[in-house]
Copies of this chain bind each other. A is one copy, B any other.
Amino acid sequence: MTGLDRIVENALLEDIHTGDITTLAVVPEPRAAHARLIAKEAMVLAGIDVAARVFHLLDNTVLFTPAFRDGDRLQPGDVLAGVDGNAAILLQGERVALNLLQRMCGVATLTSRYVTAVEGTKARVVDTRKTTPGLRMLDKYAVRVGGGINHRTGLYDGVLIKENHIAAAGGITEAIRRARAYIPHTMKIEIETESLAEVGEALAADADIIMLDNMDLATMAEAVRLIDGRALVEASGGVNLDTIRAIAGTGVDIISVGALTHSARAMDISMLLEGV
């Protein structure tokens, strides 16, 4: 995973910096130890390789033995992995490994709940750019593990024309024309609409994707009928676990959910160290 090492090194430096003073003082000599990573609640596993990388970057002789794969559903008490190595290394890597793993499992687990909620509809659950600064790659990976699909990664790899762009360009038609003339032919053009009139104009201008922004269910359904398969339809705004099923029922293709990454709570995972 490109860029992963930089994230992990950064997190380790943040926590260890000039040294784990407790261990340096109290356990100065190497001692072999064994640890187990244990799920304390039900969850979708995501990030097992990231946890392994934490220990390997500290000491490449650590033996990390995963018992599950990303995407597996864990029950409370499941042992995710065993870790064998010098006790000091295990103690130094523990917190960073857990901080990363617990967050990623949190995102994957929450995503899987949204995905389950729309099961049987054609709607796909996608993430947004509302990710943790510096960890977008991990957030987006965890969404995929949880069964979601990624929206564009950032401002650079997808076109999303918003109200302000439209206003600046002087209208939907002109905004789409400018985008078409400029962007790589490998990208689609998505445009935000707030009314059926705007949906109509976007369709006429050959938008590839039409975002229905904060529309009520009836308007959304009408928009889907109007578009009639000539563009992908994305619902956005006001999406939560209570509303998503009904939104999917309007026939939209895609539902984007900021909460997947901005408000997932950490899953409860602990590391048990033995043999010190």
Given contacts A12-B2, A187-B186, contact A18 B153 (CB under 8 A): yes
| Contact assessment for A155 and B17 in the assembled complex, using a CB-CB cutoff below 8 Å | yes
Q: Is A244 an interface residue (CB 8 A)?
A: no
- Pick the contact of A22 from B15, B23, B160, B273 — CB < 8 Å? B160
CB of A175 within 8 Å of the partner chain: yes
Establish whether residues B16 and A156, one from each chain, have CB atoms under 8 Å apart when the complex forms: yes
Q: Secondary structure of the A side of the interface?
A: mixed
Contact with B along A219-233 (1 / 0, CB 8 A): 000000000000010
The segment from A72-80, A112-120, A132-140 found at the interface with B is: A132-140
A96 to B136, CA, bound (A): 11
Question: How many monomers of this chain does the complex have?
Answer: 6
- A13 nearest CB across to chain B (Å): 7
Residues of chain B with a CB closer than 8 A to A187's CB: 21, 157-158, 186-188
Assembly CA distance A25 to B179 (angstroms): 5
Could you tell me which residues of chain A, from 1 to 26, have a CB within 8 Å of some CB in chain B? Answer: 1-3, 7, 10-26
Per-residue interface assignment for chain A, residues 65 to 98, with 1 indicating a CB less than 8 Å from any chain B CB and 0 otherwise? 0000000000000000000000100011001101
Say if the beta carbon of A196 comes within 8 Å of chain B.
Answer: no
When distances are taken between beta carbons in the complex, the residues of chain B under 8 Å from A161 are 22, 26
Indicate whether A165 reaches chain B with its CB closer than 8 angstroms.
Answer: yes
Provide the bound-state CA to CA distance between A18 and B21, in Å: 17
List A residues at the B interface (Cβ < 8 Å).
Answer: 1-3, 7, 10-27, 31, 33, 87, 91-92, 95-96, 98-100, 102-103, 124, 126, 129-137, 140, 144, 149-165, 167-169, 175, 178-179, 181-188, 190, 209, 232, 234, 253-254, 259, 262-263, 265-266, 273, 276
Given contacts A15-B154, A17-B157, A149-B183, 19 further A-B contacts (CB under 8 A): A10-B133, A17-B17, A19-B156, A21-B182, A21-B183, A23-B165, A25-B159, A27-B165, A91-B162, A92-B155, A99-B132, A103-B262, A144-B182, A153-B157, A157-B186, A158-B186, A164-B276, A262-B265, A263-B265
